Amino acid sequence: MNNQGRYQPGFRGTRGGGVFRGSPNYYQQRPGVQQNNQHQQLWLRKRPGGPGERRGGNTFQAQAHNDSGSQDWKAQVKKPPPDNRYKTEDVTATKGNEFEDYFLKRELLMGIYEKGFDKPSPIQEESIPIALTGSNILARAKNGTGKTAAFCIPALEKIDSDKNVIQVAILVPTRELALQTSQVCKELGKHLKIQVMVTTGGTSLKDDIMRLYQHVHLLVGTPGRILDLTKKGVCLLNECSMLVMDEADKLLSPEFEPSVKELIDYLPQNRQILMFSATFPVTVKAFKDRYLGTPYVINLMDELTLKGITQYYAFVEERQKIHCLNTLFSKLQINQSIIFCNSVSRVELLAKKITELGYSCFYIHAKMLQDHRNRVFHDFRNGACRNLVCTDLFTRGIDIQAVNVVINFDFPRTSETYLHRVGRSGRFGHLGLSVNLITYEDRFNMYNIEKELGTEIKQIPPAIDQAVYCR
């Protein structure tokens, strides 16, 4: 399927954008890109085959980094054990770049390697050098391919820790994603003197106000809470030069868009906006035209929509769903699973049934107290429980590497929701399994989603080969 149809004219953008990949003159050809940006010039000089790559037989990279202390800092890096699981080409089909090619601060490089990142994934290769030039970006890539680091790394690189003002704001649609994103920023920037703050609804406003009277360089949060603090005059965004919108299509839904637009009015005129998501409906075009002008468009979704995730359906009656779920639990090799329902009441009811069947189970939904939600999210992420039942609250950006099975107990209503739900498995190129319980009423919906996503959901076989989701 050609996903280009999802873009309005002007939204074209294959991986690398054509001119960028092959031409050393990309920055001269690209309108609106700052010509005197330090990162831009250094990166150009370091490009393979570019001017300044070799001097006296040594690479520019070697001259920049192989000083007398370079081996010392690399020796101090405490890398986690390598992940040797099978990975799909979503994360392996790279140009072969290294993080050091982007001339990042040494302290940031240490955080990147200690986080377990060895080399940039495709979305990171495309986004990081462009973001460092100050360009606006509209980036589309599959769930679980490293989008968070693709914007966190340039954000951390561009922050001046000596300036005690908010310089980067990252907007996300859910509280759980805000906590997760802020944690990634803290881990990547652990050797930098950068103060990261997270703020969301459902938490103490007084605590947030007190925190903002201290130093904050990078702010992560939900639009409503950040706007509230900004209107109160305690969250000052007049020197915030970078705004990141993660899960941008959700942030531009009627629920969030008014707050996002109002927030942008508080930013300086020369601010940079980065928009990331796995899906960009055509409604994004009006926002793009108004606030991003002519952004650099990255689209890595032409053929990689659901690669690595095996999808099955089981045709059942509503009263058979619990029995079918019990059978799946007994037959599948589940590391961790996420089970989706379409309503809060069904989440609580199903969690009770699963517990009665004798399986460990947590549940989470938007009507729970925030402290309870935080505890469930933290405990599930740390492996305290094998199964989690939830609403679509949990479809956006939640990254739990151990999840290898997603079960749609209730089938979603839209292709975007299906894509985000299924994307909770198979994180960062690993294999995953999706099982959909389909009733008579769901059959046309499933057909439409298959057609829109250009994918095939196959009938579940009597036995599922573990190799398709456990390698």
Task: Give pLDDT tens digits for 452-466.
Answer: 888 889 999 988 888
Burial (CB count within 10 angstroms: exposed 0-12, middle 13-18, buried 19+), residue 450: middle
Stretch 405-429: mean pLDDT = 81
298-308: average pLDDT: 65
Distance from C-alpha of 412 to C-alpha of 421, rounded to nearest angstrom: 9
Nearest to 295 by CA among 318, 272, 326, 317: 272
pLDDT tens digits, residue range 391-411? 887 666 566 777 889 999 999
> Which pLDDT band, with edges at 50, 70 and 90, does 267 fall under?
very high
Phi/psi for 55 (5° steps) reads -140, 110
Give the tens place of pLDDT for each residue, 153-194. Answer: 999 999 999 999 999 999 999 888 898 899 999 999 999 989
User: Are the beta carbons of 148 and 172 closer than 8 angstroms?
Assistant: no
Structure-token pair, residue 208:
């947030």
Report whether 117 contacts 144 (CB < 8 A).
no
The yes-or-no verdict on residue 432 having pLDDT over 70 is yes
Q: How far apart are CA 211 and CA 216, in angstroms?
A: 8
Predicted pLDDT of residue 374:
82
By three-state DSSP, how is residue 452 classified? helix
Q: 40 — phi, psi (to 5°)?
A: -60, -50
Half-sphere exposure of 235 (CA within 13 A, CB side): 28
Helix (H, G, I), strand (E, B) or coil at 17: helix
Q: Which tens digits make up the pLDDT trace of 230-251?
A: 999 999 999 999 999 998 888 9
- Burial code of 201-214, b = ≥16 C-beta within 10 A, e = fewer? eebeeeebeebbee
Q: 118-122, 123-127, 398-402, 453-457: lowest mean pLDDT where?
A: 398-402
Question: Is 60 exceeded by the pLDDT of residue 17?
Answer: no
DSSP assigned state of 47: S
**Element housing 460 (H / E):** none
Highest mean pLDDT among 22-31, 57-66, 68-77, 255-264: 255-264
Of 54 and 253, the structure prediction assigns the larger pLDDT to 253
Q: Position of tokens 């089970």?
A: 339
Q: How confident is the model at residue 334 (pLDDT cuts 50, 70, 90)?
A: confident
Q: Is the pLDDT of residue 5 over 50?
A: no
Percent share of the chain, pLDDT over 90:
45
Q: Report pLDDT for 108.
A: 94
Read off the tokens for 196: 């990261």
